[in-house]
Amino acid sequence: MSFKRILLLPFLLISIFVSAQTARLNGKVMNSQNEVVANASIEISPLNKTIAADVEGRFSIQVESGVKYTLKITSAGYNAKIVDDVTATAGEDNTINIVLENKTLEEVVVRSSVRKETTSALINFQRNNASLSSGLAADFIKRTPDKNTGEILKRVSGTSVQDNKFVVVRGLGDRYNAAFLNGAQLPSSEPDRKAFSFDMIPSIVVDNIVINKTATPDLTGEFAGGLVQVTTKDVPTKDFLTLGVTLGYNTNSTFKDFTSNGRSSTDWLGFDDGRRSLPSGFPSNRQTYASLDSKSDGLAQKIEYTKLFRSDVYKTQTTNAAPIQSYSIAGGIGRKLKNGGSFGTVLSLIYRKSMLTFDVDRNLYQADGLAIQSFNDDQNKNNVNIGAMANFTYVKGKNKISFRNLFNQYLEDNYYTRFGPNIERGSDVRLTSSVANQRGFYTGIFEGNHQLSLNNIKIYWNAGYSLNQKSQPDLRTSAYVNGGIGTNTPFEWDQDDSRRFFSTLKDHNFTAKADITVPFSLFGQKQNFKFGGSTLVRFRDFKSRIFRYLEATSAFDNNLRYESPENIFDRNNISSTGFVMEEFTNNQDKYFAMSTLNAGYAMFDNKLSDKLRLIWGARLEYFEQFLHTKNLSAQRVIINTEDYKILPSVNLTYQINDKNIIRVSGSQTVSRPEFREIAPFQFFDYESTFGIQGTEGLKSTDIYNVDLRYELYPAAGEAISFGGFYKRFVNPIEFRLSSESVLTRRNYSYQNAKDADTYGLELEVRKNLRFLGGESDVFSNFSVFANLTYIFSQVRFDDVSLGKTVSADRPVQGQSPYLINGGLQYSSRNSGWAATALYNRVGNRLSLVGYTVTGFPDIYENARDVIDLQVSKKILNKKAEIKLTVGDLLNQRILLYENVDNARKYTPGTDRVFSSFKYGSNISVGFSYDL
């Protein structure tokens, strides 16, 4: 049996068909504070049967398809509710969400239809969240063209996504956002930045997504933009097995020439098979290799060690770029056990592959605007991604235990050739490079929910481990220069920029959390007191080594200088008259780091009246960060910082009526330095043409947040909200050009600015078009949604340069001045047709902070319009679906420019192009089938 068939076997075993005559009715019982009502009693008529909800308020029962039923839901402390006209259809996900109101002084039985009850649940989803938030439920997600969580997040108000995976909330990127999966905080999936790659999580397994935009004490204090909470399915209410395949055509790349160095036999799985590894017989550290210089036969030994490096890795191959490919399989089962409990499993596996080619123009300028470098890169990127998820959940009575696992493996191999004039050197430059990045990410989380009989006290806990690995195996550059710009003189090998770089990074993360919620009564209203604590412990080990080829002796054969990049470092050329390897790894090129974040909190959720709700409290966080390395003089460098933060927050909600709400919030949060930001390790990124270095002594950023929002929920699935926010940052950390940079050697580091302010306005509209149809119901299949975020930010800093203090004002690094999302969606359950048109625009944002006093303007990313289209049709008795998708229809150029006139918008002829490229439009056809 082949390897691929073995992979599919576990999923095929969970395929179970439902009976055509019966259907399963599923539901969830919640209260008006968005809390689950565990063990609620559900009486089903005319079955004359009563069942109990589990610890998460969920229930499920088998009924006859098409028959109308009446449900009566009761629970201590709540008014009874009767829901009429409940039906279920065989083979479909028949789910009803029920909202119970707190018991009034007089016994009241509330009667409702199933349509009205669905409306209440949709309103309840966002309306009754403890903090100001935006979210999407599973029923909306199913109607979008999105394949993964990264794409889904584009639909949330005030949110954009970079590279289809990194979330930007309220124009604040990376470091100002946090990610939670099923209640547990996720570490960064990117070793060199504080960000989580949301494209790891397939949309089919998502139950809901909520982005908290204001803080509450029970959540981490390390965010300012948004805290993204993704909840996946655990005990499926309906067994499912879905297979999917998508093939895509990129207008720049597909079926065109694709050039690369040779790849390993396991690249297609996202793993290098050792082809790119540092030779196993090579000395384990620089000191051992350098000590050979003092030996009489040291050169001979170095030559033999140099021959251990593979030289065939420089050989190139040209093929046709294959179509973009994506394959997925996801399945789930839910079983009732004889002991009254239930067990559920959700599994998924995704495989993606793409071969993309595009040209990049890169320029560096003098202060007078003269281009001293004008390069063109021919990029060839091969990407492979494998993601898997496995969730297991057991529920019995008032107890639930889950074990959730997420794994992702990613390999990007980018081969590019660069050509262009370098005026400073007085020659044309030709450079080839192969950059392989291999990343692996795993997280496993145990969690439990328990409700005690004593006063209905609730206990929640989780414990998890995650491993984040990244390696850059054999990053190669080969550079050549000629005798003069535009001349026909031969290109000669450039010793300094012909390098081989190897690095490995491992992050180990341990998390634990426990919460206890104690309900009590005050002012005749139900109240909650919640307290708990959490810990997050991280360990990082980073190692790198860097080499270059040198002339072995003065008897060097000068003819070798003119050999091609493919042959110049052939084994036959490694000799006393040829090349030998030099290692110039620095002491700073490795470090060990660890950090601990311990927190405790107390929070009150007070219902002051039927209309007024107050959530308030404080969080105490203790953070310690340790890093060990050595400086250039081989002296030990130890960075050890610690701080205590008390982070108060308050959220006040005034419910004018069932459809109108006003929210006010205030909080203090924090953003702390990452390991990479404080490590003195230096790295020159040839692709981006600048160097990066960490900075010892970075301070944490204190952030003060104020929010005000008005919300209107006119009807089922409809929402209108308008609000404003203000944020003040003290000591914000920015990625900024270093003052010692020169025109052709720019170095960026992380620095604290003095302070910054951000002001913003948000408008969101989600509206069904049924009101246009009069007596006709055709427009009820159409809905429009749009959100607009306008942001003004200003940062202040003091620079000491040229013997004087300089102050300036500009936006926060990475801040977008505005975000626009809009779309028209059509979905017909009867016909199976669906269509979506989406529009996105992100305003000019500050990408790289310059140093204007020494002639380095800030670099901005220009705004661009992105339009995505999709049409889909349910076929084969609605068990299958086919989708046609056009991504980035306009294919506008991605443009980064030096903002010479400080107007913050691109002014052709004045502002100067720093880099410019087009990825191409993607046209794909997808097919999925539900077994």
The beta strand positions in 294-338, using DSSP E, are 316-320, 324-336
Strands 859-861 and 845-848: antiparallel
Q: Which pLDDT tens digit goes with each residue over 434-462?
A: 999 998 888 899 999 998 988 889 999 99
Residue position matching structure tokens 């496995």: 390
Q: Which pLDDT tens digit goes with each residue over 702-711?
A: 999 999 999 9
Instruction: Report residue 233's pLDDT band, with 50, 70 and 90 as the boundaries.
Output: confident
Kindly give the residue spans of alpha helices, DSSP state H, lying in 68-216.
114-127, 138-141, 149-152
What is the per-residue pLDDT for 71? 87
Mean pLDDT of 483-510: 91
CB atoms within 10 A of CB 606: 18
What DSSP state is assigned to residue 317?
E
Burial bucket for residue 742 (CB in 10 Å: 0-12, 13-18, 19+): exposed
Q: What is the C-alpha separation between 929 and 269, in angstroms, rounded?
A: 24
Of 744, 281, 685, nearest to 475 by C-alpha is 685
What is the per-residue pLDDT for 7? 44
Contact status, residue 781 vs residue 826, Cβ threshold 8 Å: yes
Contact status, residue 719 vs residue 712, Cβ threshold 8 Å: yes
Whether residue 154 has pLDDT greater than 70:
no
The alpha carbon dihedral of 485, 490, 491, 494 has a sign of negative
Residues pairing with 334 in the sheet:
344
Contact status, residue 129 vs residue 135, Cβ threshold 8 Å: yes
Residue 289's identity, in one-letter code, is Y
Mean pLDDT of 254-268: 92
Instruction: Report residue 924's pLDDT band, with 50, 70 and 90 as the boundaries.
Output: very high
Q: Average pLDDT, whole number, for the chain? A: 85
**Angle at alpha carbon of residue 393, lines to 451 and 11, rounded to 5°:** 165
Mean pLDDT of 899-911: 87
What is the per-residue pLDDT for 308? 94
Contact status, residue 99 vs residue 31, Cβ threshold 8 Å: yes
What is the per-residue pLDDT for 406? 86
CB atoms within 10 A of CB 115: 11
What is the per-residue pLDDT for 793? 86
Q: Where is 629: in which H helix or E strand?
A: strand 612-630
Contact status, residue 887 vs residue 868, Cβ threshold 8 Å: yes
pTM (two decimals): 0.85
Burial bucket for residue 446 (CB in 10 Å: 0-12, 13-18, 19+): middle
**Angle at alpha carbon of residue 160, lines to 157 and 161, rounded to 5°:** 140
Task: State whether residue 219 is helix, strand or coil.
Answer: coil
- Phi/psi for 572 (5° steps) reads -65, -20
Q: What is the C-alpha separation between 365 and 198, in angstroms, rounded?
A: 37
Tell which wins on pLDDT, 811 or 290. 290
Whether residue 14 has pLDDT greater than 70:
no
Q: Which pLDDT tens digit goes with each residue over 573-605?
A: 999 999 999 998 988 888 899 999 999 999 999
| Helix count and strand count (H, E) for the chain | 7, 49
Structure tokens at 683: 């790295």
Tell which wins on pLDDT, 162 or 609. 609
Q: Where is 72: in which H helix or E strand?
A: strand 69-74
Whether residue 9 has pLDDT greater than 50:
no
Residue position matching structure tokens 């889904």: 152
What is the per-residue pLDDT for 4? 46
Whether residue 137 has pLDDT greater than 70:
no
What is the per-residue pLDDT for 482? 93
Tell which wins on pLDDT, 102 or 137. 102
Instruction: Report residue 192's pLDDT band, with 50, 70 and 90 as the boundaries.
Output: low
What DSSP state is assigned to residue 779?
G
What is the per-residue pLDDT for 50? 85
Instruction: Report residue 3's pLDDT band, with 50, 70 and 90 as the boundaries.
Output: very low
Mean pLDDT of 130-158: 67
Instruction: Report residue 1's pLDDT band, with 50, 70 and 90 as the boundaries.
Output: very low
Which residues are CB-neighbours of 563 under 8 A, at least 6 positions away?
A: 493, 570, 573
What is the per-residue pLDDT for 10? 45
Mean pLDDT of 98-106: 72
Least confident stretch, 2-6, 467-471, 529-533, 541-545: 2-6
Whether residue 323 has pLDDT greater than 70:
yes
Instruction: Report residue 890's pLDDT band, with 50, 70 and 90 as the boundaries.
Output: very high
Q: What is the C-alpha separation between 430 and 415, in angstroms, rounded?
A: 14
Instruction: Report residue 761's pLDDT band, with 50, 70 and 90 as the boundaries.
Output: very high
Whether residue 302 has pLDDT greater than 90:
yes
Contact status, residue 249 vs residue 922, Cβ threshold 8 Å: yes
Structure tokens at 129: 């969240």
Which residues are CB-neighbours of 877 under 8 A, at least 6 positions away?
A: none
Whether residue 78 has pLDDT greater than 90:
no
What is the per-residue pLDDT for 170? 79
Of 643, 747, 641, 639, nearest to 696 by C-alpha is 639
Burial bucket for residue 192 (CB in 10 Å: 0-12, 13-18, 19+): middle
Least confident stretch, 556-570, 672-686, 696-710, 796-810: 796-810
Tell which wins on pLDDT, 20 or 245. 245
Residues pairing with 358 in the sheet:
379
User: Which stretch, 91-100, 161-170, 395-404, has highest mean pLDDT?
Assistant: 395-404
Contact status, residue 152 vs residue 146, Cβ threshold 8 Å: yes
Contact status, residue 493 vs residue 469, Cβ threshold 8 Å: no
What is the per-residue pLDDT for 5? 47
Tell which wins on pLDDT, 604 or 88. 604
Residues pairing with 220 in the sheet:
none
Angstrom CA distances, 63 to 17, 41, 70, 111, stand at 16, 17, 12, 22
Which residues are CB-neighbours of 13 under 8 A, at least 6 positions away?
A: none
What is the per-residue pLDDT for 787? 85
Q: What is the C-alpha separation between 398 and 460, in angstroms, rounded?
A: 12
What is the per-residue pLDDT for 106? 58
Mean pLDDT of 790-803: 74
Mean pLDDT of 242-254: 94
Whether residue 557 has pLDDT greater than 80:
yes
What is the per-residue pLDDT for 813? 79
